[in-house]
Structure 1
């Protein structure tokens, strides 16, 4: 009777003399790593060239851009000023202007604007209209007499950097109308009212009296340097 073949012995365990062979990454993985390294080098090179302005920059094609199409400045007039600005005052006013219609609810037709206006008013003395006898000089006594017109005030000049709209309320029909047309006259009306209020406030602020005092001190200092000991300044009634 034939003997049965002996069972195959299992693979021998790796020994320290013959360690197990470690398989490296596949060819496709190596290709991916190579491509990634090359791409990183290219990106780094492009960034370096852009930093030294060798390569052109590529900006956002949809970025905002402002174009100034203003026309050249046109000189309309020029004049010589013969006045001395002796004082000025800065004022602030809150304008609360509301426009509505009688017998119509405010939520339908209404426009209310709350505006803070800041403006400056100048007080000046006009030397251009002095008469021939306005100045009397005594060279022996070294005295001078001056008769000047009363100080005047300019119209308030609004400072738009410090003026702003606090709130604005509009009725339903006003909103619909504003969606189809723009009315700059409404804003101009608020500006004019702010100028008017500031100009009126300046007249009651004592700015004219300060202008008188400053003008007199300026003339006294001026003629004292010219050797005159007494300078008398009188102002006409406003």
Structure 2
């Protein structure tokens, strides 16, 4: 009996000059990410594909895998907002963040943050600012365990790309329903900020990711003595229009002081 196939995503890999977002490189390959959920490695010495990898978040993956057809992906029914005219800050509080940073079977960080919120005065530039780890909250600072790199392998060669890994993010709303989910490769880049945090002595790195739902910004310190990265700042920025559409609210940017 033939198993039913369901189309999840389509990619055009013929244009080798446009392979999406550049992630990192080593002496053999360049790594790119195509939304949604495809990692492509290109040989540096020739414009040929070395390997492809899938990176799909598990939320609604079963529906995507079985309810579509070979010609078209499954279309989810539109979200219907649950209105609340009692809570004046509905949609601003009660968030949870679960974050995994890993490469293959190696996990660098796995943490859950509960009770996250955004004050109305922190709604700026079209985003809700929600802090999961703050610079001054040392108890929430987290280290990345082990050597941080992205492992790859082909039939003839293998290697690793330093400071790159896969990040899975799950943001739940107040009712613990998934609000924003993704799985994507990311890179740690040396910070270009001129600001210095004198509480920490080490090299500064930034991690950034963004899509239509929002963006994530993290600041890390490389502690040479311990040979570990420490996450000292982790902030979610949720797209205000998406939040309003999801909750049936009407939040706008806070007035500039």
Fold in common (TM above 0.5)? no
| The structure with more strand, counted as a fraction of residues | 2
Larger RCO of the pair (alpha carbons < 8 Å, separation 6+): 1
**What is the TM-score normalised by the length of structure 2?**
0.20
Larger radius of gyration: 1
